[in-house]
Chains A and B, each alone.
Chain A
Amino acid sequence: MDAESLTFILSIAIRSSAAILFAAIGEVFTERSGVLNLGVEGMMLMGALSGFVAAHASHSLALGLLAAMAAGGALALVHGFFTITLRANQVVCGLALTILGIGLSSFLGRPIIGTVGMRFTPWPIPLLQDIPVLGPALFQQVPPIYAGYLLVPAAWLFLFHTRPGLNLRSVGENPQAADAAGIPVNLIRYGWTAFGGVMAGLGGAYLSLAYTPGWKENMSAGQGWIAIAMVIFALWNPWRAALGALLFGAVNALQFTFEVRQITLIPSYILRMLPYLFTVAILVIITRSKGIRRRAAAPAALGLPFEREGF
């Protein structure tokens, strides 16, 4: 394979991974606080729709992004209310949100299917784009992707080198200990659940404003779910989440390349299955690997509502 193909594949991989990356980072934060949010797919779709509509109506991409994040965040707050305050079952709640998000977006979005709206155009970064092989792949992308580049290290720094990050991590691991240390457990859970929704919405907006501009029913095609799986693969670490998203993008890119070049080595339907089978495989590996399990397991309090004992 020559350098040009490599650049091409890398470029597509990055492009296909962004939505998952945003949603996954958001879910990492949500789950780190101890809340399981399975509504990511619904939030992504609502974000995609809201972003597209808002951008189209206001002729402002920025406003579109904001609207998308607000939509995702609002849905996430609903999830938070039901799971944190009302202590409802987190799995059912998340599923309900997904179904609601799918239905609502499909319903409200019907009239605008096929509309041509605003879209992000690539912003090549001078100098950086001239780096051989990597340059064109990394630095000739749309702005949200650059935001993604910054998001990952920022997330990591925040998580491990700031006090709010320490508080977040403790809440998800041992809420009793955090509570005894005076940390407002439920408030933190609300906040990071909302953040997760905001990120999912952002991912959705990326889809409708950059990746496949426009609105199509169910346009995320399960990427919300894959993002959730990626969080497990990432062992709740932002860098590994980025890696996971990129791997997914790479599989996507490979499938695309095979189709374009009409390589029939692997039938296209199997190629399309690969990301999902890949997800199952890594789930098995992660769950079985004792070393990994010990070093970086799920937040111990994930999925469990917090009730203050005693008093």
Chain B
Amino acid sequence: MATTLTSMQGITKRFPGTLANDGIDLEIAPGVVHALLGENGAGKSTLMNILSGRYRPDAGEILIGGTPVRFHSPRDALRAGIGMVHQHFLLVANQTVAENVALGHKTPRTILCWSRIEDEVRRLSEAYRLPLDPRARIDELSLGQQQRVEILKLLYRQADILILDEPTAVLTPGEIDELFATLRRIAREGRSVIFITHKLEEVMEIADRITILRRGRRVADLTPADVENRRELARLMVGREVVLRVDRTPVAPGETVLELRSCSGQGDRGQRAFQRVSFAVRRGEIFAIVGVAGNGQRDLVAAITGSQRLSGGQLLVFGKPHGAGGPPPMDRIAYIPEDRAGTGSLPGLDLTDNLLLTTYPSFCRRGVFRREAARRWAEAQLDQFHVVAPSLTASARQLSGGNLQKLILARELSKGPDLIIAEQPTHGLDIGATMDVWDELLRQRARAGILLISGDLREALSLSDRIAVIFRGQLMGVFSTDDEDAIAEIGPMMAGVVQAS
């Protein structure tokens, strides 16, 4: 067991376009459950990936017991006693628990006597009260059980520091309690547990120490005793958001284009994604749903656009019920997906082909393309939306993120839609492209109803007329963006501290 202090000093890490970690200091004491708190994009995962050997810092040092160490791979870190359980487990799905635990371990060297290994695994799982059947296949286990395997892997290798990245995201409340018990047990032995999260109530429950990151910087390092209430934590985490001056001319809202009545739906793993969501979007307004990623937004949008079914409630698009699977009338709906390169575009085809993806039928006459007309239309679109590209024949792959997004906007908005669903539309874009996208959305507001899904509070507040916070699949409150008191509560709402009013 380690009795040494591990510290990270002045860690800086840059990725193209962002400064993920900016001179962060962190000290990890043995026997402590240390929470690393922050919003999405605050830099928590990056920092821990550096500690666990997956990334290398651009500047800064890691010291174990005062001695600087350099990790070239996760294996180096493991050898030094530091291991990480990622959000996406690194398990071999069709192999057993025992096989996964044994993978990469030094002994036994050649012949694997499974019964012996299984016994060891069983012994370890009983000692830490992580009940697991060593013979069970990973893909037959629940996510909570799989997580136990990941933790067991680290314990099998006698890790001194265990890092868990958003571990409760995939757990039921009962499993969360079990996990916390296990983590306390591990810490009691003198090991350290680092717990990455954005959920405040968990932090208050399990953490012995709390470090808060915001936009790549460390903003606080304290113990639960130092914090008066969770509200304060939330403010530290989210900060005071500056609303950008954006011209929003008042528009009288028209008829309802999208309405959800008590809708519930499941995610792709069968877990409950969102429950009893109700809201309405009217023509002439921007309605924003803001929340930390992973709180059900993606599945909600999938249900609205028809790629997933609802498990309950009623979905009305332009007044007509939908939700039995199958797309709603897409010729009146513009969908700007989060996944630009994936569903949104055709990377290897040229810009004209991309623009035509959802509009090509109108350029075809009896099977033949009116190529010239299409090209002229494409040029006009690119012009109108200020898409900067090497040439018309360039492939979509060559566009920068911002220009690709503008291309998708051009394509979708050329339909003259009545309902626009924009999913994280400015994610990863620079300020210039962001303003362009915002301008366009505001322009569309006059004739369409816009549903904006965003994790960026500033964006939501600047653009929308009404805003709702989503947390754990439920809407925490719907209010107008003129309501200043309510606005102040948004941060805590996003962190699940405050209930719906």
Contacts and interface: CB of A to CB of B under 8 A. Distances in A.
B369 interface: no
A174 B55 contact: no
Contact of B103 (A176, A183, A310): A183
Q: Is the interface of B mostly helix, strand, loop or mixed?
A: loop
Contacts of A176: 90
Contacts of A311: 54-56
Contact of B73 (A163, A165, A166, A182): A182
Interface string A161-173: 1111111011001
Interface string A152-192: 00000000011111110110011011101111000000000
A310 B53 CA distance: 11
A180 B89 CA distance: 11
A178 B104 CA distance: 7
A163 B108 contact: yes
Contacts of B245: none
A74 interface: no
B94 A297 contact: yes
B112 A174 contact: no
Contact of A161 (B78, B94, B95, B111): B111
A142 interface: no
A193 to B, nearest CB: 20
B92 interface: yes
A173 B91 CA distance: 9
Contacts of B104: 167, 178, 180-183
Contacts of A181: 75, 90, 103-104
A180 B49 contact: no
B109 interface: yes
Nearest to B153: A181
B99 interface: yes
A161 B114 contact: yes
A300 interface: yes
A97 B464 CA distance: 60
A310 B109 contact: no
B55 A310 contact: yes
Given A163-B108, A163-B110, A166-B112, A180 B93 contact: no
Nearest to B107: A163
B74 interface: yes
Contacts of B108: 163
B111 A174 contact: no
Contacts of B54: 310-311
A170 B55 contact: no
Given A162-B110, A297-B94, A177 B103 contact: yes
A173 B114 contact: no
A83 B73 CA distance: 24
B6 to A, nearest CB: 20
Q: For A166, A300, A310, which residue has the most chain B Cβ atoms within 10 angstroms?
A: A166
A161 B90 contact: no
A173 B103 contact: no
B42 to A, nearest CB: 18
Given A162-B110, A177-B90, A182 B78 contact: yes
B465 to A, nearest CB: 40
B102 interface: yes
Given A170-B103, A181-B103, A182-B73, A310 B92 contact: no
Contacts, number: 70
B75 A182 contact: yes
A137 B305 CA distance: 64
Contacts of B49: 310
B110 A180 contact: no
Nearest to A167: B103
A182 B49 CA distance: 16
Nearest to A299: B94
B110 A164 contact: yes
B111 A173 contact: no
A299 to B, nearest CB: 9
A183 B56 CA distance: 20
A296 B137 CA distance: 12
A100 to B, nearest CB: 29
Contact of B91 (A164, A177, A296): A177
A178 B92 CA distance: 8
Contacts of B56: 311
A164 B109 CA distance: 9
A164 B102 CA distance: 12
A270 to B, nearest CB: 39
A167 B108 CA distance: 13
B99 A166 contact: yes
A297 B94 CA distance: 9
B95 A163 contact: no
Contacts of B95: 169-170, 173
A311 B90 CA distance: 17
Contacts of A180: 74-75, 90, 104
Given A180-B74, A182-B73, A182-B104, A174 B93 contact: yes
Given A166-B99, A182-B78, A300 B114 contact: no
Nearest to B137: A295
Contacts of A164: 110
B211 to A, nearest CB: 22
B103 A178 contact: yes
B87 to A, nearest CB: 13
Nearest to A176: B90
A180 B110 CA distance: 20
Given A162-B111, A163-B109, A182-B104, A174 B75 contact: no
Contacts of B93: 173-174, 300
A189 B74 CA distance: 21
Interface in B76-125: 78, 90-95, 99-100, 102-104, 108-114
Contacts of A170: 92, 95, 99, 103
Contacts of A167: 103-104
A5 B382 CA distance: 78
A173 B95 CA distance: 9
25 contacts: A163-B108, A163-B110, A163-B111, A163-B112, A166-B99, A166-B103, A167-B103, A169-B95, A170-B95, A170-B99, A173-B92, A173-B93, A177-B91, A177-B100, A178-B104, A180-B75, A180-B90, A181-B104, A182-B75, A296-B94, A297-B94, A300-B94, A310-B49, A310-B55, A311-B56
Given A170-B92, A170-B103, 6 more contacts: A161-B111, A166-B103, A174-B91, A174-B93, A178-B92, A181-B104
Shortest 8 CB-CB distances between A and B: which pairs?
A181-B104, A182-B75, A177-B90, A173-B92, A174-B92, A182-B104, A180-B90, A181-B103
